[in-house]
Structure 1
Amino acid sequence: MIDRSHHSVLVVDDNPSTRYATARTLRAAGFNTVEAAAGAEALELVEFVSAAVLDVHLPDLLGFEVCRLLRKRAATASLPVVHVSAVFVSPAEQAAGMEAGADAYMVAPVDPEALVATLDHLIEERPMTTQH
């Protein structure tokens, strides 16, 4: 079991209420959180976190593209990424998210316990040398 207080999760969602609710859930579970409303902002903040919860439908870049860009950077190539979407929910879209490099894909509304368990697992499996 990881010590969540030693880990920050980047919550990326253009919907302020959804972003707030997700971040609040993660803080209640013991994680630190960093928030971003768009893909470009996420790309600036992501090097200082242990994982990212990434909405697919963002105003500037699709979450799929953000994930592909993260996988190309040495510092974030192994960063756990959980895609979340209420819009891109078809099996083909979920497959596209996984092909873009996501570690998990969840359809909103996301069960808070499932999200926390997924993050725990992904962070625990991540190489120790790159955790934040």
Structure 2
Amino acid sequence: MIDRSLHSVLVVDDNPSSRYATSRTLRAAGFNTVEASAGAEALELVEFVSAVVLDVHLPDLLGFEVCRLMRSRAATASLPVVHVSAVYVTQEEQAAGMESGADAYMVSPVDPEALVATLDHLIQERPIAMH
């Protein structure tokens, strides 16, 4: 079991209420959170977190592209990424998300316990510098 208080999760979602709800769930579970409302903003913050919960439908870049860009950088190549989407929910879209480098794909609304358990597992499986 990881010490969640040592880990920050970047929550990327252009919908303020969804971003707030996800961040609140993660904080209640003991994680620290950082928030971004767009892909470019996420790419600026991503080097300072232990994992990313990444909405697919963003105003500037698709979450798939944000994930590909993270994977192309040495500092964030192995960062755990969980795609979340209420829009891109077909099996083809979920496969595209996994092909972009995501570690998991969850359809919104996401079960809070499942999200926390997924993050616990991914962070534990990929030890990275703690932030």
Distance 2:127 2:116 in 1: 19
How many corresponding residue pairs? 131
1:90 and 1:41 map into 2 onto residues whose CA distance is 27
The gaps in structure 1 that reach 5 residues or longer are none
4+ residue segments displaced more than 2 Å: none
Post-superposition Cα deviations, 1:93-131, rounded to whole Å, max 9, x if no partner, equal: 000000000000000000000000000000000134x34
Q: CA RMSD in A?
A: 0.7
State the distance in 2 between where 1:58 and 1:127 align.
Answer: 28
Q: Residue 67 of structure 1 aligns with which residue?
A: 67
**Match for 1:114: what amino acid?**
A
Aligned-pair identity (%): 87
Measured against aligned partners, the alpha-carbon deviations of 1:20-75 in whole angstroms (never above 9, x if no partner) come to 00000000000000000000000000000000000000000000000000000000
1:21 aligns with 2:28: no
- Can you give the 5+ residue segments of structure 2 that lack an aligned partner in the other structure? none
TM-score, structure 1 as length reference: 0.98
| TM-score, scaled to structure 2 | 0.98
User: Alignment partner of 1:22: what SS?
Assistant: helix
Partner of 2:102: 102
Determine if contact 2:39/2:61 at 8 Å carries over to the other structure: yes
Question: How far apart are 1:89 and its partner, in Å?
Answer: 0.1
